[in-house]
Structure 1
């Protein structure tokens, strides 16, 4: 009975699904090495279930299987496991995509699971194969000893057989034949030795006519034949070695070579001056034959560099020559002369490019030696001229050195282009290969290729043509000119920090010298401070560009030290100025309306002026602090850029060089600028940036975990100096605010109440009835002081909107970071999730602090400062205390304690004074006796002396 269509489709699809399930379950757990077995299993499954879908599914599963094998084999090509994982997990089209791909996390998890399964299978398969190999080796080792013994026996047998064959062959030859062969061999040896002796004697005999022949050839101007004759004679010098004839003949050889060189010198110079390449090439071959190649190069270099040396020596320079050497006429600066000098030098090299390539077999090293010899032959030398140049410009020498270095780098770039052209001219194209191609260039090209392979870093994947091109440019001979060119600048580059600091100080001195500070009133100094801060930060921002141009970032440590010291000296100068003039200033300011509202306070117009001036200075300091934070952010960005450049250069030095020239890069890398301190600085800045990035980038590359970094400030000394400036202004404000209260206490220690003998604790009536009194009235001084303390909050209500009070609260007297932290929690009730940012909110953004916190901090500081003066200076000055005087003092201190507690001030010294003064004699002596063996208490000791508790 035929099946209905639904049943027919079910019969077709069901075996296919079973087949897929069987194969997919079998495939991941199969042995990766058992390919044939896997194929048989797939065929068996296909035959078992059948279905029209079996072949496509089989192809798909086989492709997946071989892809896993390819993944496992690719592991051998990687040195880094993380790189292999990244490449395996990256999509196949990621290499053709210009931007990183974002992979879904579910897809990534699936890929990781598949990769782990594949690795487990490969690990298990490898273990099985290793066990199999170990078993084979274990079974084969005992057999190996037997095989070696068998081979030894066979060799011994073969040796005996060979000896027997040799003996039989000798026995087969008659004695007469053997004697004849021995005679022939002896005669042949004698013949060979006699011929060699004849040649040697002939060479020796030629020495008798050597001088005459060479002299005649020189007179006939047959220089090539004379050179060949000398070369032949030189080869026979070995005959006379270790004999008395050696030295005279060696002297004769040198004299004849000198005669030939002298005869050639005039013609050689003429040919060089006439740029006759053919004659120069012929003369070079002659000099090479007589082993005078270096002398030929000296002649050639000396003739071709004469114009360059003359241009350098006779240039009338204004700023780098001694007065006696400067000639009359139009003088020019060294900065204008150097580009023109390099331009002429480049023109000479361009003209020599073809000449050197046609004369010398090694044009690139020859051109390099020509440049090096020219640079070293300059008179005065380049270092001497640069020293004079630096001495002339003095403190601003750095900004004049940078253009000179830039011109030198431009010249080096032009020279590299010329060398590249010479290299292309010396190396024929690779397609011109045939029988007509000369052998020497091919050998030289092969040697260059081998050199490029040896010099190429292992992590760079360059084509063979690039390796050949880079071979000559990276050879020591081709790098010699580069280092000779930049060596004079190296000493100044290593001293960059000092040069930068000198320039910054010089710029600051110019600003100060142009400043009309004497004509500016002291009340305008805050404005002047802000204006000068704008100038110095403008000067400092150019230092990063100077560091990059002059040292390419290697001088970053010196840059930080110079900037930190520069800002510190500027702020310290203003701090000293403020300390000198702030306390001695007699300038008066117009009293504002707010001052009239506080007219009941004991402040003079000068006090109000001092308070306002201090607040204006604090506002200026806050402005400078904000500018310094912005500048420090720019400085971190600059250092991050330098660190990135160094990182790229480390990974790919060919495409991302540090300096404009490879020779300059090597000099800087080998100098003292490349220190551990520099690498630590750049690493800290770079790690700080990495710590803010996610663990996975956009392309889901695995990144190693980086711990959180809490870097130190780059301008630590400058910030400390700014804190000192703020502390100076705050101390001045505190002193002015507390001056009325301190004035009230001037005569407090000498009040007659301290010496009173009347017992104020009881009062005697006319009927001899003693009426006790329960409290004493405070002295008038303490009442005035208490009124002044209670008026302090009103004073800060007037200045509540002034952001200057909120700046640098941690430098207030008797206010620390912990105290300020607790005060912020108490007044603002900051949420728990913001507690980690509380310190930054207090110190970095003072304008966001609640005015109540600011007022509380200032009141707390003022209260502690006043009580410290009271307990340390005023109370110890009391000469003595009677019982009545002690009672009065205890009443005053109790009253002050209640007053300062209203200001949230608690002072340990005040509490001790109040406690010890309130004691009677017995309790005081007991307390004094108990504390004698403990830590010394100066307050108890002083009260004991005042009360007479000591015997």
Structure 2
């Protein structure tokens, strides 16, 4: 077996593993003990051999140590000698430097004088050349060789720059400016002809002449002037198409204009023509002006948009006005519906035209892919400039739009008041109110979309203020209707509000009125929930605008991520608007930062006003539900039965009625019928919220409120009774007991005051004296004293009954 010594030097060597591995490599026919003995012997021999070699090597190393020490000493001596030699050389260099410093300074002065002399010589040569050029320039102009003239003028300018502000050449400087203007005047007509004929070579030669005399602006101006003509002609085609007479119509059709087309129908055709021209000019300029094409084509579009900006704005305004007028005529002079308004209003027309312009702007960015940064931003500003005035007035326009849509909601139906018409009017009005809530919310959600589509969110502040104002005006309109419904329901406090029909008809109408009033709760709930959901939607929209508009760090185009260009990230005109209006951007940044907080109220006044409306609805519904109770209990305290004297009879029978009086039976029947009347409301609420427990709770809550209100009204009447006889007390106790049974059937606890009335009224006079003297813990003490006073019981503490 061969010994692999490398395994013994490994970090994780384990002797057991090595032995086991050696055993596995044993020949099959060899005994294990013999094999292990051989392995042990080989290991022992190998270890002895290694020990011998180690000893030999150690001895040799010890013998080499003295020799190495002697070598180290020799090297140290050589280093000391070298250090001394170098020190001497340094001293000599210092002496030489001190001696030569004066010579070097003198040579430096001589070199400076030499340079000045050479500069003076060059200046004199340039001055002489300038004078010569100035004298011969007219001959150069006379030759008609424009490139030579340009080169001569360029050389004169270089000479003037070298000469500097020398008084003798002031006239030459003025002459040079006039000569450059003269050459520019000679080049411009030729350049215009070359541009019109699209002659590449001639145009390049003329371009080189203008560049030589630093007149690139003239090239830009002439190029824009020539290339703008077909674009201006395309723009004026709309007016040609609107002309009257056969000649105008034929001309417009030959030029490609759409005769009689609206501006919205015509505008995409104009944009297509502009894009076609831009694509052609981009290719032509890349061939003719490879160094200036990225400047000339954008300048062409910017100058074109600037030239037509005022008429563009006028056409936008006219188209928007026409849309509103056509909408009104299309409805026969009647108020248009909300859907019609959203489809054909002034703001909708602006949004449509702006969308066309947005598509055009995206195509422009694609065509001008080589243009980046601030220059591309200027192009987009020019493209959208006709809409800027309308965007600045967005809040006003949106408010007009929403106010118009809300005003068109007919919250009151025209119902002729007659028998039963009151309930019909109430039901119809409530139905219209309920239907108006989702309609208004749809309009408000559409306003958010319009703001994002028209202003890109840059006018979000104006949107928030407008939405808050419009919702407040809508809720104010609901308040006015609600106020008028109090008269319809007969709970406005006027005598005329009470029903004057027969008992049966009045009863049917009363319950119809109750049902109509209960539906107001659905309106209230719908308004509260939908406004809350809408405000959440608005807040979420605002919170997402920060990233889109780069709010918090508004940057100029090209200052963002390195390498970003029109090909990587199209510019947003909303961002450009905010860059141009830093104060608006700051206010919007504050708003959008606040919107990230879930506690922030995007509509600060809406929630409070909606809550006030809900409270007013609750009050009206309560007044309607309690009205019949109030009507039946009116004047109960002045009924003559309470002071009636006892009647003598031969059989000593009770003289009071064993049944409650009609007034209390009417109240009890009404309260017992009330849960049944609340079932439709509970079902509608349950459908809306999807929870059966919630609907039952609502119905029970209203039953408790009306029962409690009826009890309080009854107690007030009881307190107003001036005098109660024994017979009256017994009758009143029977009435109270009946009401207590009704409350028990409704699972309403009888209040302590009413229970005290029943105890004290049902008790004989002697028992009442005892109660007064020692009142039980579960009675109301003030009520006990009041009943003793109206029943004329002497409260002298002597347990005596008073005599009436």
Cα distance in 1, alignment partners of residues 115 and 699 from structure 2: 116
| 1:485-532 deviation line (CA, Å, top 9, x unaligned) | 23454564566555444323333444549x974689524444445555
Indicate whether 1:573 and 2:477 are aligned: yes
Task: Determine the C-alpha separation between the residues in 2 that align with 1:204 and 1:378.
Answer: 50
Question: Which of 272, 278, 283 matches 2:201?
Answer: 278
Indicate the residue corresponding to 1:457 in structure 2: none
Contact 1:382 1:488 (C-alpha < 8 Å) held by counterparts: yes
Output the CA distance in 2 between the equivalents of 1:170 and 1:799.
119
Cα distance between partner residues in 1 of 2:358 and 2:227: 23
SS of residue in 1 equivalent to 2:147: helix
Given the alignment of the two structures, is residue 612 of structure 1 paired with residue 515 of structure 2, yes or no?
yes
Q: What is the CA-CA distance between 1:862 and the residue it aligns to?
A: 0.7
1:435-480 per-position Cα deviation (integer Å, ceiling 9, x unaligned): xxxxxxxxxxxxxxxxxxxxxxxxxxxxxxxxxxxxxx44322332
- CA offsets 1:575-614 (integer angstroms, 9 cap, x no match): 533431453369xxxxxxxxxxxx9999633312312332
1:412 corresponds to: 361
Aligned-pair distance for 1:205? Answer: 3.1
SS at match of 1:481: helix
2:242 is the counterpart of 1:293: no
> Does 2:56 match 1:164?
no
Listed as ranges, the matches of 1:442-841 within 5 Å are 473-489=371-387, 492-493=390-391, 496=394, 498-510=396-408, 512=410, 517=414, 522=425, 523-529=427-433, 532=436, 535-536=439-440, 539=443, 542-543=446-447, 545-552=449-456, 569-570=473-474, 573-581=477-485, 583-584=487-488, 604-618=507-521, 661-664=570-573, 666-667=575-576, 670=579, 672=584, 674-681=588-595, 683=596, 731-750=619-638, 783-799=661-677, 801-804=679-682, 807=685
2:336 matched to which residue of 1?
Answer: none
Root mean square deviation of aligned Cα: 6.2
Q: Distance in 2 between matches of 1:229 and 1:156?
A: 65
Find the partner of 2:692 among 844, 848, 862.
Answer: 848
TM-score normalised by structure 2 residue count: 0.62
> In structure 2, what is the Cα distance between the partners aligned to 1:264 and 1:368?
23
SS in 2 for 1:904: coil
Q: Is the 8 A contact 1:507 1:539 kept in 2?
A: yes
**Aligned residue runs from structure 1 range 373-392, under 5 A:** 373-380=303-310, 382=312, 386=316
In the alignment, what sits opposite 2:294?
364
Which residue of structure 2 aligns with residue 99 of structure 1? none
Residue in 1 that maps onto 2:801: none
| Equivalent residues of 2:707, 2:743 under 8 A apart | no
1:758-805 deviation per Cα after TM superposition (whole angstroms, max 9, x unaligned): 9x9xx99xxxxxxxxxx997999x954543443244313533642447
Q: Mark the structure with the bigger radius of gyration.
A: 2
Query: C-alpha distance in 2, partners of 1:741/1:45?
Result: 106
Confirm or deny that 1:866 pairs with 2:707: no
**8 Å contact 1:554–1:668 — kept in the other structure?**
yes
1:834-861 deviation per Cα after TM superposition (whole angstroms, max 9, x unaligned): xxxxxxxx99727513776444312211
Contact 2:275 2:364 in 1 (8 A): yes
Q: For the residues of structure 1 that align with 2:409 and 2:450, how far apart are their CA atoms?
A: 20
Does the Cα contact within 8 Å between 1:603 and 1:740 map onto a contact in 2? no
What residue is the counterpart of 2:350 in the other structure? 401
Tell me if 1:344 matches 2:273.
Answer: yes
How far has the Cα of 1:296 moved from its partner? 1.9
Cα separation, 2, equivalents of 1:750 and 1:901: 24
TM-score with structure 1 setting the length: 0.54
- Secondary structure (helix, strand or coil) at the match of 2:239 reads coil
Instruction: Assess, with a 3 A threshold, how the Cα gap between structure 1 residues 266 and 714 changes in structure 2: closer, same or farther.
Output: closer
Quick one: distance in 1 between partners of 2:12 and 2:672?
94
What secondary structure does 2:308 align onto?
Answer: coil
> CA–CA distance in 2 between the matches of 1:565 and 1:190?
83
Counterpart-to-counterpart distance in 2, 1:668 and 1:941: 79
**Mapped contact 1:339–1:407 kept (Cα < 8 A):** yes
Measure, in 1, the Cα distance between the counterparts of 2:145 and 2:16: 93
The answer to whether the Cα contact below 8 Å between 1:568 and 1:718 also exists between their aligned partners in 2 is yes
Q: 1-side partners of 2:10 and 2:98: how far apart?
A: 65
Tell me if 1:41 matches 2:11: yes
Given that 1:547 and 1:559 are in contact with CA atoms closer than 8 Å, whether structure 2 keeps it comes out as: yes
CA distance in 2, matches of 1:53, 1:288: 94
Task: Tell me the distance in 1 between the aligned counterparts of 2:713 and 2:459.
Answer: 50
Contact 2:515/2:677 (CA < 8 Å) preserved in 1? no
Whole-angstrom CA distance in 2 between matches of 1:537 and 1:352 = 49
* Contact 2:430–2:520 (CA under 8 A) maintained in structure 1: yes
Distance 1:662 1:850, change over 3 A: closer
User: Which of 175, 183, 187 in structure 2 is aligned with 1:252?
Assistant: 175
Deviates further, 904-913 or 527-536:
904-913
Q: Could you tell me whether the CA contact under 8 Å between 1:231 and 1:290 is conserved in 2? A: yes
Name structure 1 gaps, 5 residues minimum: 1-37, 55-152, 172-177, 320-327, 424-472, 587-598, 685-709, 765-774, 808-841, 925-937
Task: Tell me what 2:78 maps to.
Answer: none
Question: Is it true that 1:333 corresponds to 2:262 in the alignment?
Answer: yes
Task: State the secondary structure of the residue aligned to 2:477.
Answer: helix
Separation of aligned partners in 1, 2:101 and 2:200: 69
Query: Alignment length, in residue pairs?
Result: 649
Contact 2:528-2:611 within 8 A present in 1 as well: no
Structure 2: distance between partners of 1:255 and 1:887: 123
